[in-house]
Structure 1
Amino acid sequence: MTVLGVEKVVSTIELSGNHSGNVLVAGAVGSGKNVSYIRPNILLEQEKSLLIVDLYKEEFTYTHKEKLQQGYAVLEYDLSSNNIFEDLRNDLNSYRSDKLAIYLNDSGVSSEGKTSKERGTLVQELFKTFLNDEIWNQSMHIILDDYGKCPLPDIAEFLSIAKSHSIEFSIVLQEISELERIYNKDFMLRILTNCEAILYTGGHSIQDAEFLSRLGENTVISAEEILRMERNEALLIVNGKKPRVINKLFVEDLTTQKKNDYWEVLTNQLLEVLHDYVVQETNVAASSNDALLKVKELLNTINSAEDLEKIISTLESSNIFKVAWITCRPKEEHLIKSVIESAKNKIESMIM
């Protein structure tokens, strides 16, 4: 299962069955690639193993605890380590039958470490391990974030043979035209041919917009319409289907929100999570005033981030609001306490 976005608040759009496969995700900085695609696909996946190129450890920070709770073995490797191949092989032997969440970071990415080409070649050699059926025979979703900083020399070949090994790729980068700059136009087209879907989360690249508008036999959406998409919208192109504009799964990239919006988004997310918990644990109707009263009572018992974590952990990992909270929650406990207080104040006004 690869989650692409939503058509309604809780109706997700997924690639599955005949349309399962590789996905190219492109969008400008701040367009929500991480919070609307990468993070949800890490958190919602509970069947396949995961391998995430996570150069700056952002996804590890936000998702590894949840993957542990879901029963995954979490492994982390530094691309700057001289022992990475040996460590990976040893761990694969040790966790042969376990679902794995593997994170690849690079402690030298911000310094004069490896070049992008060197890093991509190293990652490619690591991936070859998973094509050896004697070593690896599980299904896997490989997420290549910041692809421009880690381009695989033979990515087109990997994409073409991935399905026969029950592996699917997500290539995530800022512009589709970046592929042409890294390789050449023919190689870029080979990559796109081996992708089942393209998800464009928005940006200002006229070149990308014009290219996307011309995909397919007829122009279904113009370049101007693509450039004018709202922040919560994305363009989805699936092989054999008409392009369409969908809603992103989560659009609250809190690093770009104004302060008031930041707290409002977090407060609403927390109330949604607690509401689902109350409905799950009691017999109250979801839309009743009793449900709000139960949420108020519950909030009065929460005094710390640890208290809140215990409650949230009882919800299904596939719960949309739980995933939204985990995706966007602040890291610091004092900020989480502030959100709890904000939720207490808001629930009072909702009941009155």
Structure 2
Amino acid sequence: MADTTGSDMKPGSFMSEKSAKIFVAGHRGLVGSAIVRKLQESGFTNLILRTHSELDLTNQSDVESFFSAEKPAYVILAAAKVGGIHANNTYPADFIAVNLQIQTNVIHSAYTNGVKKLLFLGSSCIYPKFAPQPIPESALLTGPLEPTNEWYAIAKIAGIKMCQAYRIQHQWDAISGMPTNLYGPNDNFHPENSHVLPALMRRFHEAKANNAEEVVVWGSGSPLREFLHVDDLADACVFLMEKYSGFEHVNVGSGVEVTIKELAELVKEVVGFEGKLVWDCTKPDGTPRKLMDSSKLASLGWTPKVSIRDGLRQTYDWYLENVVQKKQ
């Protein structure tokens, strides 16, 4: 009987195919732009990139036409509708529908048009709210999700399962990587719809610019979070494309935890805000702790390189150059 998981597939020669067509979906976002930088640094010369106005990934016929015309050899699926607690609570229909549409269209068209390998990227929010810590890959679907982002999480779980289903039925090399909380250049610094780290950075910067006496931060500051610089994730994605062809998704984390309070103090220091921090305990904290077990990826031979302090400095420099200066 054949191996129905497709685990007999051997890792390919991704790194030796520098002229192969690679479609990076979502290349202007936080993750996609970092992956493009990494591929270019690694010598890949044939990247296929489309903006949302050039290719709407939620439109099935447009996606099919694109794949039929371009015939990429490899796909890295970094396109997604993302946001923080506020955005997830406000737009649940968008978060489930848009993400399901994007990944279904891209994964299916990639398979039917002969793509050799696809990497689907999810998020650590796929795991149950009270998963064991650190969270192993095996914790998936073992308990209820965090209610504030379950719509997004369910879409991402469907993406993992879709990759596994195509591997089982078609012996197709579709793999999934699950990053922890990410930050870095090209992050979303929107005042309401951003994640905790860029939201903090913006708030401290604006408080400093306006000579404010204090900054109010949501929650108690007690939740623990793990952060990974997006350049480290991009490095891990290229590593997985070359080295991994397994059935199970792979966690991609830094293994380093900070409390939201420690993070806020660190951002305050990097930005240079001299005022005080006030915690608004009437606002939700979200998941109490979320550390991923990335030992599987480490055992394959990958470890992160960017420390959180260095990463925050780089990110703030980028914010000053690309967000603040453009407003002036």
TM-score range, shorter chain: 0.3 to 0.5
Larger radius of gyration between Structure 1 and Structure 2: 1
